[in-house]
Amino acid sequence: MLGVRLLVLSVVCVVLMVVDARFDTLKPVRSQLGLVLTPFYWLADLPVRTWQRATEQLSSSTSLAAENEKLKAEALLMQRRLQKLAMLTEQNVRLRELLNSAALVDDKVIVGELIGLDPNPFTHRILIDKGERDGVFVGQPVLDASGLMGQVVEVMPYASRVLLLTDVTHSIPVQVNRNGLRAIAVGTGSPDYLELRHVAETADIKEGDLLVSSGLGQRFPSGYPVAQVTEVVRGSGQPFSIVRATPTAMLNRSRYLLLVFSDSRTPEQRATDAAEAQVTADREAAEVQPAPAEPAAEPQAPAAEPESTEQQP
């Protein structure tokens, strides 16, 4: 009897997995289950937080003072870099104004925290503590302090799943920061590197080049670090060069993440949309204004009937 129950439960599990993989029927159920399981993720993470707080409280005053001095020095260095970045940002704004194009100076972000990992070894996904109630949406870019990490692929009320750049199903348009060369970086299933597809053997790319998001595809904002080229193999018998790059984001170590809210349109698209909106507004304003009244026409006398020219026989 116990074996029959096990067989029935196994068949039910297989059917549910097939339905979940092929259809969207169980998506609302999975969303509600995510809402129910979110407190369990918090409870599972509670011992780690408790241990970290206890370790911080037991730290000696000498180590804390040394760390404080070190952080002060790093803060001064970061303030100096921020001053340079502020100056460069202002110069960029002035140049864009000269070019008559709108500039998105800063992106709105919210801070999220890692609360879980996907147990499937063949996918690279993580769970964060921000969901639909926080304005998170599917396709939203996610990054850490070092670069882009991936994008949101599933949103629940209080949590979301993020697909990392290194997943085999993920790809992102990038460009070489040194010369603007465009390419597509795809995940390899390994957390250590990405691969660039369809790079010609004569392309100007070399080890050490920084790859940044190009903004093509209107999914990721442009200019964020993605990876650094670590290997370029030419003349390997393949039609294209083999290019591998290491992600700049700390995919296996970052705990606090940033979710980016930005306008992914290019300056040209924003200018075009603004022009179309202005034309529409002008047209609506013209329809609202009454047309000028035309002067009344003077009454005309009726035309005289022509005399009959028939002759009597």
| 57 three-class SS | helix
User: Which of 240, 192, 230, 183 has its CA nearest to residue 209?
Assistant: 230
Question: Which structure tokens are listed for 265?
Answer: 């349109």
pLDDT digit string, tens, across residues 16-40: 788 777 777 777 777 777 777 788 8
Pairing of strands 108-117, 125-128: antiparallel
pLDDT digit string, tens, across residues 136-165: 999 999 988 888 999 999 999 999 999 999
Domain chopping of the chain, boundaries = 13-57, 108-267
| 291 three-class SS | coil
Could you give the CA distance from residue 271 to residue 5 in angstroms, rounded to a whole number?
Answer: 65
pLDDT digit string, tens, across residues 49-97: 888 888 777 776 678 888 888 888 788 777 766 665 755 666 676 566 5
Range scoring the smallest mean pLDDT among 59-68, 109-118, 249-258: 59-68
Mean of pLDDT over the chain = 79
Alpha-carbon distances of 54 from 13, 50, 209, rounded to whole Å: 42, 6, 42
Q: At the top level of CATH, which class does the domain 108-267 belong to?
A: mainly beta
Q: Residue 107: what pLDDT?
A: 65
Question: Which structure tokens are listed for 91?
Answer: 């110069």
Could you give the CA distance from residue 69 to residue 220 in angstroms, rounded to a whole number?
Answer: 38
